[in-house]
């Protein structure tokens, strides 16, 4: 029987290598997934030390303890390691060039993991959404009562459900025991869209619900008209061809997962 341990940050502080070592002593894991991250992209511009403490040094601590214990590590990273200037989907061989502090901290974490541990798999994901935590879908549902919403239309990506990522990680772990293929991978979703396009699908799904009520008018705008503290990549598309080749894991269709998430959310309950 497989046991999964997911200690909260109050119990496992990855910024403290002693806390990481203690968790290993308690759980004796056969494999580790590092999903911990500082993800406040705009706030990271003024709190880069806090972002690096979690995303870079925290990742290094986990990788070092994994190396000492002979334990493989699956480390989650992000499309934000790229500048977004590429025309098509990014592949793993494309040079990283982050344009904000969050992206730089995540790239530093990738490098720290690769330096400290041979038995590592780094999985980059993009535009993650779920029924919990702060994400675009929950924001749109919370704003569904407004008359109008202005949504950026010149940033491209593929929304990715946290549930799809979890399923991919589990399939990787199942195969690692017999045929480990470590290194850097991208997990892709489809179809590509913009934030405005994503919002359009969200509200189309909400409109089919009897209790949705009146929904806002969506106005597409360029990024320049929606200034943020941290710059965002214009292109966040990731190619999952390498992951499919090595692990047989193909692109996930985010639209079905969106239905699942919206089925659990209402504007009053988020």
What averages of pLDDT result for each successive group of 10 residues across the chain (270 residues)?
84 95 94 96 97 98 97 98 97 98 98 98 98 95 94 97 97 89 96 98 88 84 95 98 96 95 70
Mean pLDDT, the chain, rounded, equals: 94
- DSSP letter for each residue of 93-142: TSPP---SHHHHHHHHHHHHHHHH-SSEEEEEE-SEE-SSSS-HHHHHHH
Which position among 38, 80, 90, 102 bears the catalytic label?
Answer: 102
Active site residue 226: no
Does this model's pTM top 0.85? My answer is: yes
pLDDT for res 3: 82
Contact 257/161 with Cβ under 8 angstroms?
A: yes
pLDDT for res 210: 57
pLDDT for res 270: 43
142 preceded by a cis bond (ω within 30 of 0): no
């Amino acid at each position: 029987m497989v046991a999964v341990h997911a200690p909260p940050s109050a119990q496992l502080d990855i910024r403290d290598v002693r806390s990481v070592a203690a968790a290993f002593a308690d759980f004796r894991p056969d494999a580790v997934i590092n999903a911990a991250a500082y993800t406040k992209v705009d706030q990271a511009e003024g709190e880069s030390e806090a972002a690096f403490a979690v995303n870079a040094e925290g990742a290094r601590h986990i990788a070092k303890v994994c190396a000492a214990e002979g334990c493989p590590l699956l480390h989650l990273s992000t499309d934000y390691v790229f500048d977004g200037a590429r025309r098509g989907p990014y592949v793993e061989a494309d040079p990283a060039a982050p344009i904000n502090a969050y992206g730089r901290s995540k790239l530093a974490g990738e490098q720290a993991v690769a330096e400290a541990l041979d038995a590592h798999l780094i999985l980059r994901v993009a535009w993650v959404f779920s029924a919990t935590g702060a994400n675009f879908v929950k924001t749109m549902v919370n704003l569904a009562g407004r008359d109008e919403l202005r949504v950026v239309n010149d940033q491209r990506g593929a929304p990715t459900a946290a549930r799809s990522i979890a399923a991919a990680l589990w399939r990787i772990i199942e195969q690692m025991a017999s045929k480990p293929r470590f290194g850097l991978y991208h997990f892709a979703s489809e179809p590509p869209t913009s934030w405005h396009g994503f919002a359009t699908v969200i509200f189309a799904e909400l409109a089919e619900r009897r209790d949705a009520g009146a929904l806002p008018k969506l106005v597409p705008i360029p990024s320049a008209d929606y200034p943020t503290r941290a710059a965002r990549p214009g292109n966040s598309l990731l190619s999952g061809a390498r992951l499919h080749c090595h692990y047989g894991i193909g692109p996930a269709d985010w639209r079905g997962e969106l239905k699942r998430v919206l089925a659990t959310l209402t504007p009053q309950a988020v």
